[in-house]
Amino acid sequence: MKITSSIVWVLLTICLSIPAVAQKAPLSPGSRLDSLISKKMEQKGIVGIGAAIIVNKNLVWKKGYGYADRELKKPFTTSTIMNIASVSKTITGACMMKAIEQGKINLDEDINHYLPFKIVNPYFPQDVITLRQLATHTSSLTDRYPFYTDSTYFNGKDSPEELATFLKNYFVQGGRYYSKENFLDHKPGTCRDYSNIGAALAGYIVENKTGEKLNIYSRRYLFKPLGMQHTSWFLSETNLANHSKLYDKKDGQVVDIPLYGCTTYPDGGLRTTVEDLAKFYNCLLNDGKQGNKQILQKRSVQEMLRLQFSDNNKPENVNPKKLNSGLFWSTKMGGERIGHNGSDPGVRTFMLSDLNKEVAVILFVNTSLGEKEEDTFFEIYNLLYKFGKTLKNAPR
């Protein structure tokens, strides 16, 4: 058949009018991470998240998601301030190690040598309790619930009760809060029982022996040298305009809850940002150094992070392969991660690395969920950790 120019023109027009099949470009690892985190936040009602990833002792990624204030649509960023619950204990632990460097205290001395009142476990009155036991949660001093939480949180303000007063009333016979239930019926050192009150006591010992409140001492020796300009212990010294609101999911509804102060602040009262905490974490991962500055002595950090339990030296209820402890530092997730995490009303936080300290993740969440949804936080952490592994293995 003879093809005329008019036929060619018709065929060309038809071909050009047929839409090309779109080739969908694969998502980059970062975009996929954003998508997965955003989806989980939407599914569970999480309002705001901040996160950072440290690879081989370098901060390589940081990002915020959602809102610090849902009503005002204020974004949650890595410079948003939030209380970090029990991750605070790592700061208390670092202050304890600094006081040891200064010769003020000793890990294996009787704590009563450092106190203006005497603490005795009534079940084992002759046995010594040490700072090492406080820091590994083996002291036999325990949190009595619901009293402990009901009496130490104060909505909208810092605690009106002094830490020293609370501790004396809690541990000394005749005190307003004293009970044998404040102690375990286990010899000190023989049973691991996670103890917030033990961390509060360690913080107070640092205060008593250095002569400075923990907020002053930590600012002098940690926050200022590390450039942690947005970190504080009390509401009264915090820039509340940059503080995240806190949210709690109840009966399927996410509601905002008041900010609060805590009497036993060394166990969970620190307020900081993802960026500030990353500076502290990286210092620990780097044997106490930041650049050319030695913030903590190398041996102090190594002792703080060293796993204290072995098959021949362990509490009776611990399998060191599954759970081990440094000083206010411990293995998590069946022994596969190490660091600390935290949980309080409206707060979920993670500061964990692999055992080789190659990939470390900081995660702040300003929304607490019910027990049945707790896995969501670990799923988000794992997404960040896997992304960190991707960054670690990416060609340079």
Q: Which pLDDT tens digit goes with each residue over 330-367?
A: 999 999 999 999 999 999 999 999 999 999 999 999 99
Q: Is residue 3 part of a domain?
A: no
Residue 5: pLDDT above 70?
no
Judge whether 1 lies within some domain. no
Answer yes or no: is 22 within a domain.
no
Residue 241 lies in a domain: yes
Q: What is the pLDDT of residues 42-100, one digit of tens each?
A: 999 999 999 999 999 999 999 999 999 999 999 999 999 999 999 999 999 999 999 99
In the chain, % of residues over pLDDT 90: 88
Indicate if the pLDDT at residue 23 is higher than 80: no
What's the CATH number where 357 sits? 3.40.710.10
109 in any annotated domain: yes
12 in any annotated domain = no
> Quick check: 21 pLDDT over 60?
no
Are 390 and 59 within 8 A, CB to CB? no
List, for residues 258-280, the tens digit of each pLDDT value: 999 999 999 999 999 999 999 99
Cα three-residue angle 174-180-184, rounded to 5 degrees:
140
Q: What value, to the nearest 5°, has the Cα angle with vertex 67 and ends 65 and 70?
A: 155
> Can you say whether the dihedral through the CA atoms of 82, 288, 386, 373 is positive or negative?
negative
Would the CA dihedral through 371, 372, 375, 376 be positive or negative?
negative
pLDDT band at residue 15 under the 50/70/90 scheme: very low
At 232, phi and psi to the nearest 5?
-160, 165
Query: Are residues 141 and 182 in contact, defined by beta-carbon separation less than 8 angstroms?
Result: yes
**Domain of 99?**
29-393
Residue 16 lies in a domain: no
Q: Residue 381 domain-assigned? A: yes
Tally of domains within the chain: 1
Estimate the crossing angle of helix 88-101 against helix 196-210, to 10 degrees: 40
Question: pLDDT value at position 26?
Answer: 62
Structure tokens at 216: 């002053």
Question: Taking residues 292-307, what's their average pLDDT?
Answer: 96
pLDDT of amino acid 392: 85
Residue 316, C-beta contacts closer than 8 angstroms, at least 6 positions apart: 186, 190, 191
pTM across the whole model: 0.92
